[in-house]
Amino acid sequence: MEKQNQKGYFDEYENTTFHPYNILLFLALFGITALFLAMSAAFIYTRVQAQLPPIKLPLLFVFNTLILLGSSGTLILAKSCFKKDDTKGYQNALLYTIVLTLFFLVLEIIAWYMLFSNQYYLGKDNSTSSLYVIRGVHFAHVIAALPFLSLFLKTTRKQMKKPLCV
């Protein structure tokens, strides 16, 4: 016998332990993590095998890492505000995340310019090329998140007028 929800409709996901969207999200996150780990390992392997000197990265890359950690913190804050039914806090946390993400992208472009200025060109050696590929994929990954963050913020401003809407 098929089980119906409170509205009288059959919910095929009610008896599953994990919702299929959560499984897709997990697989996507696992794939992205594996991609970055593989590229990082290839970068280190090529540097060691070819006995290339270390690349002197601009200090801006360290600062960008801190900005990304900050934006991760604001996403965690957004989730916490959402669970607490704090609509304004949720909207603010999403806005801060978007601002930090845009700040990261601008500073990343400046950091790339600094690499070019120090004569670390894309085809200089395998190590430098790997660095650019890793940073480029990371840049694209962050850009791909912006439409989703913007959509969440737009939706919350449009539909979440009262805390009871959450």
pLDDT 10s digits, 128-162: 888 888 888 888 888 998 999 999 899 988 887 66
Q: Tokens at residue 112, please? A: 């790339």
**What does pTM read for this prediction?**
0.73
Does residue 1 lie in a domain region?
no
DSSP H helical segments within 4-125, as ranges?
20-49, 60-83, 87-117
Does residue 34 lie in a domain region?
no
Does residue 12 lie in a domain region?
no
Report, as an integer, the average pLDDT of 23-38.
Answer: 88
Q: Between the CA of residue 155 and those of 38, 87, 89, 139, 165, what are the distances in Å?
A: 36, 12, 15, 25, 12
Report, as an integer, the average pLDDT of 90-107.
Answer: 94
Per mean pLDDT, which range of 14-18, 36-40, 85-89, 104-108 is the poorest?
A: 14-18
Decide: 123 and 43 in contact? Cβ < 8 Å: no
Q: Between the CA of residue 33 and those of 36, 89, 166, what are the distances in Å?
A: 5, 29, 31
Q: Tokens at residue 102, please? A: 């845009």
Domain of residue 62 covers 56-165
Average pLDDT, the chain: 83
Does residue 51 lie in a domain region?
no
User: How many structural domains does the chain have?
Assistant: 1
Q: What is the CATH number of the domain that holds 79?
A: 1.20.120.80
